[in-house]
Amino acid sequence: MSLKFITNNQLYSEVIEPVARARSFVWIGTADIKDLHVHKKNKVVSFLSVLNDLTQKNVEIRLLYAKEPGVNFKKSFDQYKLREKIEYQLCPRVHFKQIIIDGTFAYSGSANLTGAGLGIKSDNTRNFEAGLITTNPHLVDVIMRQFDEVWMGKFCKACKRRIFCKDPIL
């Protein structure tokens, strides 16, 4: 697969399920973030459980998001003690939705890291979402570069929205 357009329920199987198979790193960029749930060994668990499992295998996790997560996300985040295990940053200008796995797979699309966007919601309750997944090295690199430029604070010094930044990257 070089480039594939996916929608709705495909997002869960084609984007979220592969995260659990990461070997080196996972970068997640999202505007909105909630405690989405996933299938794991015949149970339904918080996606943060999957990220926690990855940290136990020394997979590095970066989470870049635009606004403070909700109460349920924070509870799960604290339950798995992820503050000490993953890197995370808030940037109110982030509106892209990206997931990059091991530098060989990338998703870019409309779905936030929420149950209705990428979780296991039913066809009748999930958002109508769309995106592209790719293993094309050039496209993966372009998506990674955008994420990394924001992550490293390339735009912070000239940002006109800095007053909304509770914890500026730079």
Positive or negative, the CA dihedral 28, 19, 119, 84 is negative
pLDDT (0 to 100) of residue 136: 97
3-state helix, strand, coil in the chain (%, to 5): 30, 25, 45
CATH of 3-164, one of 3.20.20.70, 3.40.50.11890, 1.10.287.3510, 3.30.870.10: 3.30.870.10
Nearest Cα to Cα of residue 110 among 47, 34, 29:
29
**Residue 128 to residue 147: CA distance in whole angstroms:** 24
**Residue 147 to residue 96: CA distance in whole angstroms:** 9
pLDDT (0 to 100) of residue 65: 96
pLDDT (0 to 100) of residue 143: 98
Token pair of 2 as six digits: 């070089």
**Residue 45 to residue 7: CA distance in whole angstroms:** 23
pLDDT (0 to 100) of residue 123: 86
Residue partners of 105: CB distance under 8 A and separation at least 6? 18, 133, 134, 135, 140
pLDDT (0 to 100) of residue 164: 83
Q: Where are the domains of the chain?
A: 3-164
pLDDT (0 to 100) of residue 43: 95
Q: What is the DSSP letter of 24?
A: S
Summarised one tens digit per residue, pLDDT across range 74-124 is 999 999 999 999 999 999 999 999 999 999 999 999 999 999 999 998 889
Helical axes 47-56 vs 71-79, angle rounded to 10°: 30
Which residues in the chain land under pLDDT 50? none
